[in-house]
Chain A
Amino acid sequence: MEYLSIVFQEVYKILFLLVPVLVSVAMIVWLDRRVWAFVQKRQGPNVVGPFGLLQSLADALKYIFKEMIIPSSSNKVIFILAPIVTMTLALIAWAVIPFSASQVLADINVGILYLFAVSSLGVYGIIMGGWASNSKYPFLGAIRSAAQMVSYEVSIGVIIINVLLCVGSLNLNDIVLAQQSMWFVIPLFPMFVIFFISALAETNRPPFDLPEAEAELVAGYQTEYSGMMYAMFWLGEYANILLMCAMGAILFLGGWLSPLEIYPFTLVPEAIWLILKILLLFFLFALVKAIVPRYRYDQLMRLGWKVFLPFSLIWVVLTASYLFYFNLLPVN
């Protein structure tokens, strides 16, 4: 009986986390389209509900009632598995995100490694979808995307090492608490910029949206997908974007800490601060989508391997030597 109550408690907690995440994914799609439209002097979705807020819900309904077409020459099991993998991976990563010192589903010791591992698994959804479609556009899109995601993951890993050198722990709450005196965005500003650009590439956002470059590859790895499976790819992609924003907020913008520890700011619940920071980063993501043209593929690879990787490695050496010289290394 006590097992059951523990299980129910955990399921309740998980639902309390996942339902808001899914709803905010829907809202964030609307926000993305709205920002994109305003930059181009358009209105964007503004018909369904107040300010068009329910547009994503209407889209979801449309996707649910559409027919799911599974190509006859595809590898059916993997074809169906691919969107499920994408979606699941994008959602399970939220388990370790701390919304305040106590509001975290799993406060594990190696939280940041878990986030990194889950985001590096995200490539499988795309490869599986591209390969199982058994068609050349999805396959080309999947190959491109896998190469891109693996390349930019390396520099994200090195940037994480930079932050960890200043923290001395892999726990996400410790990372947040280490920023009490100063957010890491100030001393590690170049790393924040590189992290932001790598996050764009990692989530296949414009200007790095080559995997689904609609002009060349139709829609990349998701060409053959339709109906709810396509919607799941889409949801997974946006959940991943939100996750990357959360990671940026925790690593560089002080996570759930309020910007100033004085009276009116301390009234706001800590979770709200994290959400505001995630929204700020997402707004930047949406702006970049609207104002930057797409990269050429070889330029993308050059940027990842020849610019970001050496630069962030040099920054690791610099950070380590600075901390060592001034005896600031966090030792416990």
Chain B
Amino acid sequence: MIAHSIFFYTFSLIAIVSAIMVTASKNTVHSVFFLILDFISISCLFIMIGAEFLGMIMLIVYVGAVAVLFLFVVMMLNVAQQKNQWFAAKDSSKHIPVGLIISTLIFVEIIIVIGGWKYKPELFDINNSLAQSSLSNTHSLGQILYTDYIHIFQISGMILLVAMIGAIVLTFRQRAGVKRQSYIKQISRERDEGVEVLEVETNKGVRIDD
């Protein structure tokens, strides 16, 4: 039990500190690395409460894919060195009220959820029988997702698909004058089309690219 709590406090401390460092560090690339550390420690916390499937999926999806994209964007946009600090800049004071409102909203939501869990627990045990059974985490998640919540699950998948296609369509533009490489053309080239023997007249030369 002691070891359990030591690990819990270590991981939560790392999670909280790195979450603070995400916003506080001056270098944006460092922020992304702290975000990754945060994700990893949160997935460790998931594993500690027995939700090993969620923890691993968190690692694979967030750390393995989403954070890589974040890093790409941050490195490509060249915002690595922010000269003036976030709170020191003059015009950033406009953003503080907005941030405060949003964070208050999130805080109130968390209070409502935790309060509801504490005082109306019967609303939250949807499938207590599954939690008590000897099935592994992955099996019980699959059984809930693909039976009781199949429609919601499929609809959320559809929404993600539509969002993905939408993002591709919005950013896709056909540019003129781009040389496209068609690999079928390239590998099906024969010697006759590739090489041509020409009689070159003296002082005339030949045009090749027409």
Enumerate chain A interface residues (CB-CB to B < 8 A): 3, 75, 78, 108-110, 113-114, 116-117, 120-121, 123-124, 127-128, 131, 139, 143, 146, 150, 153, 157, 169-170, 298-299, 302, 332
The prevalent SS among residues of B at the interface is: helix
Inter-chain CA distance A121–B57, complex, in Å, is 12
Write out the residue numbers on chain A whose beta carbons fall within 8 Å of the beta carbon of B53. 109-110, 113, 170
Contact B3 A3 (CB under 8 A): yes
Contact B52 A110 (CB under 8 A): yes
Inter-chain CA distance A298–B183, complex, in Å, is 10
Enumerate chain B interface residues (CB-CB to A < 8 A): 3, 29, 33, 36, 52-53, 56-57, 59-60, 63-65, 68, 71-72, 75, 136-139, 181, 183
- For the complex with contacts A113-B53, A116-B56, 14 further pairs of A-B residues with Cβ separation under 8 Å are A108-B52, A109-B53, A109-B137, A114-B56, A120-B63, A120-B64, A121-B59, A121-B63, A121-B64, A123-B64, A124-B36, A131-B29, A131-B71, A131-B75
- In the assembled complex, how far is the CB of residue B123 from the closest CB belonging to chain A, in whole angstroms? 29
Chain B: which residue is nearest A130 at the CB level?
A: B75
Chain A: which residue is nearest B67 at the CB level?
A: A124
Chain A: which residue is nearest B138 at the CB level?
A: A170
Write out the residue numbers on chain A whose beta carbons fall within 8 Å of the beta carbon of B71. 127, 131, 146
CB contact between B60 and one of A3, A117, A143, A332 (< 8 Å): that residue = A117
Contact A110 B56 (CB under 8 A): yes
Contact B33 A78 (CB under 8 A): yes
17 A–B contacts, CB within 8 A, in A order: A109-B52, A109-B136, A110-B56, A113-B53, A113-B57, A113-B60, A120-B65, A123-B64, A124-B68, A131-B29, A143-B75, A146-B68, A150-B64, A150-B68, A153-B64, A170-B138, A299-B183
Write out the residue numbers on chain A whose beta carbons fall within 8 Å of the beta carbon of B59. 117, 120-121
Contact A116 B60 (CB under 8 A): yes
Write out the residue numbers on chain A whose beta carbons fall within 8 Å of the beta carbon of B33. 78, 128
Inter-chain CA distance A131–B138, complex, in Å, is 37
Contact B183 A113 (CB under 8 A): no
Write out the residue numbers on chain B whose beta carbons fall within 8 Å of the beta carbon of A169. 136
- In the assembled complex, how far is the CB of residue B35 from the closest CB belonging to chain A, in whole angstroms? 12
